[in-house]
Amino acid sequence: MTDFDLYDEDDFEDEFAEDDRMSLREILLEILSNTRILIKKEKRIMADLTSLTAQVDTNTSVEESAVQLLTNIGAELKAAGTDPAALAALQTKLSGSATDLAAAITANTPAA
């Protein structure tokens, strides 16, 4: 049997040699039934994959936002230098950003 075979020919012969009374119609109905089962499973898997893809996109967006926030913080700290007023304003801004970041992480973390 190759990697591309869906059904081993020897297994097929063994299965149907045991019951020669099985009609072609019964065999086709069995194949149709199995095909329907596979289609249902495929739809379920695709729905799971779609949901997973959406979650990855959301996480990526949140992570990119966090990276941008950290990049901006570094630039703003450098710009503030040692000016107490500028540092106090940056501290206030960071407190608000930390709250927003924590809310975003909580909102986008799936329940266990």
- What Å distances lie between residue 100 and 64, 66, 103, 109, CA to CA? 14, 10, 5, 14
- Comparing 63 with 31, which gets the higher pLDDT? 31
Higher pLDDT, 27 or 93: 27
Q: Is the pLDDT of residue 2 over 60?
A: no
Name which residue leads in pLDDT, 105 or 23. Answer: 23
For the chain, the domains span 9-107
What pLDDT digit, counting tens, does each position of 17-62 carry? 555 567 888 999 999 999 999 999 999 999 888 888 988 888 888 7
What confidence score (pLDDT) does residue 61 get?
84
Instruction: Tell me how far apart the alpha carbons of residues 60 and 43 are, in angstroms, rounded to a whole number.
Output: 26
